[in-house]
Chains A and B, each alone.
Chain A
Amino acid sequence: MKRFKALALAAVLALSLVLTACGKTGGGSNGPIKVGVINNPPSESGYREANVKDMEAVFSAANGYELKTFYSIKNDEQLQAAQGFITEGVDYLLISAAETTGWDEVLTKAKEAGVKVYLFDRMIDVDESLYEAAVVSDMAAEGDTAVKWLLDQNLSEYNVIHIQGAMGSDAQIGRTGALQAQFDNGTMNCVVQQTATWDEAEAKNIVESVINSGESFNVIYAENDGMAKGAVAALDEHGITHGVNGDVIVMGFDCNKWALRELKDGAWNYDGQCSPFQAQIISDLIKGVKTSSDKVIINEEKGFDAKTITDSDIDTYGLGE
């Protein structure tokens, strides 16, 4: 009986697959490619805002797409929306999930319905066979690039104030890793390591307390631009020079436009990119312009040096305004 049921189910699935396949060809190859994007809301951060804008720009009608979007930071709402997109019959489902778990069922349904799934920005805990490819940032690589740059500065000693992001977040873990390794093997000295949970004002308090204690330091490694700005405010109030030709090296992450301008002005030294631009890569994969042998595609990311950054870098890679 059980076997019969399974067989029947398989038959129905096969039929539905054939039907959907027919539907596609029936619609004509010139029809727009239907893409459903499940993302976090643009209000989440400057990163997300740029990410959402990028998606909307690349998957536009002009490029031959019909775009449906859904934004939420709640996983269950995202799951429901994904279900809805599958029912509506999208060709491709693009997902940046709020949480890494709970996606098995929906993605299995997508596979059964012949909807191809791409993950972007964030990985999901599911079997690799359930998605075509995942285009993600490698936060650990961002940390490695930054620390390598710092080592290349050949300072006689490294006394680092390390301001961390919200503990446990992907960005914090990745960006902390490389620096922590330097602390552990003794190449750099950790003056203080504190989390400011992405809060600019808290970062200022942390640096201020170090200045007041009279300890010397020559590097500030802040895990995002806002916290770097908070740290610099503390330096400014206490008459400590920073940036190119300054006493203290200032490092930030995220590449907001305003932060890159600080770099250009020589007030900061380094800013690491966390690229929100995955849409073009996915579009190329969908249209077959590019193919990838790996399921996980690491988005190429840069680190900018105050001495070499150009105005066109700011325009191309800067986030926000």
Chain B
Amino acid sequence: MKTNSKKLFAGGLGQLTIPLIAIALLVIFNLIRDPSFFSINLSQNNDGNIVLAGNLISIINGASELAILAMGMTLVTAACGGQDISVGAAAAIAGDVFIKVIKAGSVINAGIVILAFLSACLVAMIFGAFNGILVAVFRIQPMIATLILYTCGRSIAYWINGGATPNVKSSILSGIGSFIPGIPIPTPVLIVALMAIIFKLLFRFTSLELLTQSVGINESAAKLNGINTTFIKILSFVILGVCVCVAGIIGTSRLGLINHETLLLDVEMDAILAVAIGGNSLGGGKFKISGSIIGAYVIQMLTTTLYAMKVSSTDVKAYKAIVIILLVVIGSPVVKKKFDKLVRQRISLKKNDSKGAAQA
């Protein structure tokens, strides 16, 4: 026990300490407020499926798009030392392409949905590559480079379907966006798990993680070692493009409706925040995708908690900001250093005490 707590404070969990503490605090707060807050129950939905329901499910389910975007955002942050603020707009484009292709067919079957997914993916990857080229080749600051797509992305999404809010009714889409018959877990949650596994495998069987980190830590050193830094940077944006597409399709499938103005609105800031809460340096370099995923759940849990407390949704952002200021300050290097020092002093004091006791 002692060694465990020591490890925790001495940075054994490393960057995951802050997000895990944040989650623990939120859980404790909610349990005190309402002991039944996290209760999960099985219920039958209107399609006749037995499904899981409850606040916890709502949190994990609701954070899906954010978690997926945060994974990609972590990679871009690590490689480029900057963030992509166009993910929300790009997701709207991907969602619109997805619906456009689906509506082009006379019937909606698995084949056309897969085709629609691939087309949306391709488009999102092209936009990702566009951002990546601006950043890697033309050396534009990432936030400025992606500001372009952030500004015009939703207009482009509008052109694809000519405005309006196209609706699609299909059991396949509701299978992606809510539940597959026979499986009580919301499909978006399964998709997040799948994406996390894909990233894990990618890092295990390729040297992508190492290469990304070396580009982020010291670009010129990486170049001297023969790493194609331009390619790695563009690749990170293209991978984010895939994440954007998946998130956009989940968002669209949830309701079977695409509204280019509101789909994943303001999600870019939450995604960057998830990366930051996850303890990743926004200046690039070392990273942990698991941290960002936990960060996404922290944000969603915060939102759900505030809703459950009936905080007016206009005020939610302000309350969120307060909690985030606390998290970011606690996670800042200055506070961490001070805290480390304090812990170390305590430990050495205790050691001295026990020594003194032994001598006596």
**Chain A interface residues (CB < 8 Å from chain B):** 42-43, 45-46, 48-49, 167, 192, 194-202, 204-206, 208-209, 211-213, 225-226, 229-230, 233, 235-241, 256, 258, 319-321
Contacts A198-B262, A205-B303 hold; do A212 and B251 have CB atoms under 8 A apart?
no
Contact of A206 among B44, B55, B167, B313 (CB under 8 A): B313
Contact with A along B154-166 (1 / 0, CB 8 A): 0100100011111
- Asked if B12 CB lies within 8 Å of chain A CBs, one says no
Contacts A200-B259, A226-B165 hold; do A233 and B178 have CB atoms under 8 A apart?
yes
- How many inter-chain contacts with C-beta < 8 Å in the A-B complex? 105
**Chain B interface residues (CB < 8 Å from chain A):** 43-47, 51, 53-55, 58, 62, 155, 158, 162-167, 178-179, 251, 254-255, 257, 259, 261-265, 303-304, 307-308, 310, 312-314
Contact in complex: B45, A239 (CB < 8 Å): yes
A205 to B55, CA, bound (A): 10
Contact in complex: B303, A239 (CB < 8 Å): no
Contacts A43-B155, A49-B163, A209-B304 hold; do A238 and B259 have CB atoms under 8 A apart?
no
Contact of A213 among B53, B163, B308 (CB under 8 A): B308
A206 to B303, CA, bound (A): 10
Contacts A226-B262, A235-B46 hold; do A194 and B255 have CB atoms under 8 A apart?
no
CB distance from A244 to the nearest CB of B (A): 14
Residues of B within 8 A of A233 (CB): 178, 254-255
**Can you identify 6 A-B contacts, CB atoms within 8 angstroms?**
A45-B261, A196-B313, A197-B262, A226-B262, A233-B254, A240-B46
Identity of the chain B residue whose Cβ is nearest the Cβ of A319 in the assembled complex: B164
Contact of B307 among A42, A201, A209, A229 (CB under 8 A): A209
Contact in complex: B314, A195 (CB < 8 Å): yes
Contact in complex: B43, A212 (CB < 8 Å): no
A85 to B231, CA, bound (A): 52
A192 to B313, CA, bound (A): 11
Contact in complex: B308, A320 (CB < 8 Å): no
Contact of A200 among B45, B163, B164, B257 (CB under 8 A): B257
Contact in complex: A321, B53 (CB < 8 Å): no
Contact in complex: B313, A212 (CB < 8 Å): no
A197 to B261, CA, bound (A): 11
Residues of B within 8 A of A167 (CB): 314
CB distance from B39 to the nearest CB of A (A): 9
